[in-house]
Amino acid sequence: MTGYTFRVGFLLYNICCMNLWTSICKLGFASCKRNPGATEGINVLIEKKNLDDKWAYGFSCIEYTEFEKFGISVDPYSPGSLQAQFPANTNILYVDLASAELIGSSTDERSLPGMVLNIKKSITYMDQFGIKHWLKAAGRLSPEAVWNVQCKISLIISPTDILLDVIKVLKVWSYTPDGALLDMMRNAYDLLSRCGVTIPEVEDNEMYVNCGPPYLILLHPALGPLWEIISQKFVGGSIAKGSELQIEVAEFLWRNVQLDGSLVVLAENIVGSTKTNEIGEALLQYGRRCARCKLENVKVLNDGINWNSGDNSYWKHDMQRFEALKVILHGNAEFEARDVVIQGNYTFDVPDGHKLEITPGVSGLDIQLKPIEAELMDSGTWFWNYKTRGRHIELELIEI
């Protein structure tokens, strides 16, 4: 990509700003003045020769991680640099939806954008043995802003104008926190439906903007993470509209549970417990002293979330509740409920090394808190045994 091409691109930007949007344009980028040293890409004109030896032109974005590749200086910002000549990419697009749908519905590689590997960041992580690694190079794949369309424009606007024009649209974009939450609810519906759980279907985005989500379901990834595994831990039952289900424990069984309200299960030892090694570092031992929860033939009824509260922030999971059933498991604590109706506002706080059982009583609930036997402290009183059968994983619940 030559400097000449860049300069022509800048000229065409200004032409497009005067003409704005025309009926022949398929895709455009909203741009603004680039701040010195910003870690954002720039919008440029792309020039390439097609298979028929004809030249094609279109606007695209060069990510800041690709500057060196295309001969753009990454030295300290200067007024005469190529970075200064071009507007910044705002990640806001103007799209002709009919053209985008035509390309997206194609069955070949035309529907796939290219990828850019961003390796500018360093991370700290802990490996499967609990050993911490500091400041290791890491990469992030992100789709290139290169689209197979015939005409592209760039609209240069001020940062203030961006928010004024698109704030309502952002509420239904999947790229926003609200959109991500709605995608999670759709995934939860797909997952639990295949488990035989009766659950209302998630409606369109506009319904979410006007009324909020139909329910809140947050399941810890360690329950699976494969859906094939999770679908053996959830069997039957129902979840009513307006309910809340939060499960933060891996060793879990849901069998014929009817939920109308809020059910929250929290655990300290979700996937295992920590043990200090000889140099004083805490290592996570998977599967050891896990918290556990079993619910069989249980009906949970309470007033749950106050959906009318203006202070609710659903994607932050920050809501006002009238009532809830909360189970808090410390250490390797266990909770079991069988053949009961739990109605109203309850919090069961189970201490480390104990098992809380709830069964039908003479007049209401029979609640028994018992210490876990010493020989079962590490393994628990039950566990899931994983077996492979061909390409499938089968779970068997083992009672000790």
Phi-psi region for residue 270, left (φ > 0), alpha (ψ -120 to 50) or beta?
Answer: alpha
Q: Do 230 and 181 belong to one domain? A: yes
What three-state secondary structure class fits 205?
helix
Q: Do 149 and 204 belong to one domain? A: no
Q: What is the pLDDT of residue 209?
A: 76
How many CA atoms within 13 Å lie on the side-chain side of 43?
Answer: 28
Report how many domains make up the chain.
2
Flag whether 132 is in a domain.
no
Q: Do 186 and 277 belong to one domain? A: yes
Flag whether 274 is in a domain.
yes
Q: Do 197 and 147 belong to one domain? A: no
**Range of lowest pLDDT (19-28, 102-111, 155-164, 229-238):** 155-164
Most confident range, picked from 43-57, 115-129, 156-170, 356-370: 356-370
Flag whether 118 is in a domain.
no
* H or E element at residue 4: helix 3-19
Say which DSSP state 64 is in.
G
The Cα angle at residue 334 between residues 382 and 354, in degrees rounded to 5: 110
**Range of lowest pLDDT (21-25, 164-168, 225-229):** 164-168
Higher pLDDT, 59 or 243: 243
Most confident range, picked from 9-23, 91-105, 156-170, 306-320: 306-320
Q: Do 278 and 299 belong to one domain? A: yes
Q: What is the pLDDT of residue 118?
A: 64
Residue whose C-alpha is closest to residue 396's, from 386, 296, 287, 254: 386
Q: Are 289 and 377 in contact (CB under 8 A)?
A: yes
Of 151, 170, 189, the position where a domain reaches its end is: 170
Q: Do 147 and 211 belong to one domain? A: no
Higher pLDDT, 130 or 160: 130
Q: Do 255 and 165 belong to one domain? A: no
Of 152, 170, 188, the position where a domain reaches its end is: 170
Name the residue range of residue 204's domain: 177-399
Q: What is the pLDDT of residue 284?
A: 83
What is the chain's mean pLDDT, rounded? 80
Q: What is the pLDDT of residue 356?
A: 98
Flag whether 375 is in a domain.
yes
Q: Do 15 and 149 belong to one domain? A: yes
Q: Do 224 and 87 belong to one domain? A: no
How many CA atoms within 13 Å lie on the side-chain side of 138?
Answer: 10
Flag whether 226 is in a domain.
yes
Flag whether 155 is in a domain.
yes
Residue 339 reports pLDDT greater than 70: yes
d(CA 123, CA 390): 37
Q: Are 377 and 392 in contact (CB under 8 A)?
A: no
Q: Do 15 and 104 belong to one domain? A: yes
Token match 């455009």: residue? 28
Q: What is the pLDDT of residue 81?
A: 63
Flag whether 66 is in a domain.
yes
- Sequence letter at residue 398: I
Q: Do 109 and 189 belong to one domain? A: no
pTM: 0.61
Flag whether 130 is in a domain.
no
Q: Do 148 and 198 belong to one domain? A: no
Q: What is the pLDDT of residue 359?
A: 96
